[in-house]
Structure 1
Amino acid sequence: MKVGFMGGTFDPVHYGHLLAAETAREACGLDEVWFVPSGHPPLKDHGPVADGEARLEMVYRAIDFQPYFRAMDLELEREGTSYTIDTIRALTELYPGRTFSIIIGADRVNDLPQWHDIDALARMASFIGVTRAGETLDPDRLPASIADKLTVVEMPRIDISSTAIRERAAAGRSIRFLLPEKVHSFIRRNGLYDAR
Structure 2
Amino acid sequence: MKKQTGILGGTFNPPHLGHLIIANEVLEALHLDEIRFMPNYVPPHKEIDHRISDEDRICMLQAAIDGQPYFSTELIEIKRKGTSYTFDTMKMLKEREPETEFYFIIGGDMIEYLPKWYKIDELSRMITFVGVRRPGYSVETPYPVRLIEAPEIHLSSTMLRQRAAGGGTLRYLLPEQVIDYIKENRLYET
The TM-score with structure 1 as length reference comes to 0.90
State the 4+ residue runs in structure 1 displaced beyond 4 angstroms: 132-136
Residues 38 and 75 in structure 1, CA contact (< 8 A), matched pair in contact too: yes
2:2 is equivalent to residue 7 of structure 1: no
Other-structure match for 1:106: 108
Shift of 1:131: 1.2
Q: Structure 2: which amino acid aligns with 1:159? A: H
Distance 1:68 1:168 in 2: 30
Distance 2:159 2:42 in 1: 21
Shift of 1:134: 8.5
Shift of 1:157: 2.5
Other-structure match for 1:189: 184
Shift of 1:58: 0.8
Residues 9 and 48 in structure 1, CA contact (< 8 A), matched pair in contact too: no
2:175 is equivalent to residue 172 of structure 1: no
Instruction: Give 2:158's match in structure 1, choosing from 150, 159, 163.
Output: 163
Shift of 1:184: 0.7
Structure 1 vs Structure 2 CA RMSD:
1.5
2:152 is equivalent to residue 152 of structure 1: no
SS of residue in 1 equivalent to 2:36: strand
Shift of 1:28: 1.6
Q: Percent identity?
A: 44
Q: Structure 2: which amino acid aligns with 1:88? A: M
Deviation track 1:46-82 (CA, whole Å, cap 9, x = no partner) reads: 2134211110111111111211111021111112101
Per mean C-alpha deviation after superposition, the further-off stretch among 32-41 and 87-96 is: 87-96
Change (3 A) 1:134 1:118: closer
Shift of 1:176: 2.2
Shift of 1:96: 2.1
Other-structure match for 1:137: 139
Shift of 1:111: 0.7
2:71 is equivalent to residue 76 of structure 1: no
The TM-score with structure 2 as length reference comes to 0.93
Shift of 1:10: 0.3
Distance 2:89 2:41 in 1: 11
Aligned length: 187
**Unaligned ranges ≥5, structure 2:** none
Distance 2:120 2:137 in 1: 24
Q: Structure 1: which amino acid aligns with 2:148? A: V
Distance 1:59 1:172 in 2: 21
Distance 1:135 1:156 in 2: 14
Alignment of 1:48-59 (within 5 A): 48-49=49-50, 50-59=52-61
